[in-house]
Amino acid sequence: MDKSVFDQNCRNCPRLAGFLDEVKDRYPDYYCRPVPPFGDETSRFLIVGLAPGMHGANRTGRPFTGDHAGILLYQMLHKFDFASHGESVAADDDLLLTNCRITNAVKCLPPDNNPVGAEINACNAYLANELQLLPKSSVVLALGGIAHRAVIKALAMRQADYKFAHAAVHDLGNVRLLDSYHCSRYNTNTRRLTSEMFADIFAQARTLLQS
Ligand code: SF4
């Protein structure tokens, strides 16, 4: 069985591969490939987002880098000593993550930020392999319901037993899954997720990592 956590040449989702080709024609300088996980490969803290954003990770090649969704995330990572800087500008800047890694449930840019079920399922094998590599007593932070359900699926758990809820913690054996609303522009602009709420999530993650 393939144990890879990522394949830069993967084109298993025809709709997404075709969309990346179209976007590359429109924006030749954009990265437009599956976006690799970023951060400390030995860490016990894995953050799972949804998918690359058009002008963010899809442009720069690093998760949550270069668009609005990453602003609050990297501020929090810095505030809680997981990141060397409070912003992520480009894949070749000198930002370092310590005891933390970031990945996406779907590694390729989906049209309208909306992957279909078959695409989430196709990419789930990479996430499953990534979760299997986590050390004992790890903490997984799921940003949004799709990421939450992708983690449950990747661990072969029953969705009905673990419902997404902001700030909920689910004991999944080797890992504890912590849920948060996604730090998207929509959620932060509407104050569904405020800075204070997100800081509370990171404080909760720190506490879980110490227990
Ligand atoms: S979303 Fe995942 S499975 Fe689908 S083409 Fe991209 S890397 Fe491959």
β-sheet bridge partners, residue 140: 46, 177
pLDDT at 1: 45
- Taking CA atoms, 199 is separated from 30, 35, 56, in Å, by 31, 26, 22
Is the shortest distance between the CB of 150 and ligand 1 below 6 Å? Answer: no
Contact in structure between 103 and 127 (CB atoms under 8 Å): yes
What's residue 2's pLDDT? 66
What SS3 string covers 60-123?
HCCCCCCCHHHHHHHHHHHHCCCECCCCCCCCCCCCCECCCEEEECCCCCCHHHCCCHHHHHHH
Q: Is the CB of 105 under 6 A from ligand 1?
A: no
Ligand 1 center to 119 CA (angstroms): 7
The number of angstroms, rounded, from the C-alpha of 184 to the middle of its chain's C-alpha atoms is 12
For residue 72 and ligand 1, the question of a CB distance below 6 A is answered with no
Residues in the chain with pLDDT values less than 50: 1
Closest protein CA for atom 3 of ligand 1: 123
- Reduced to 3 states (helix: H, G, I; strand: E, B; else coil), residue 176 is strand
pLDDT at 174: 87
Dmax over CA atoms of the chain, in Å, equals 49
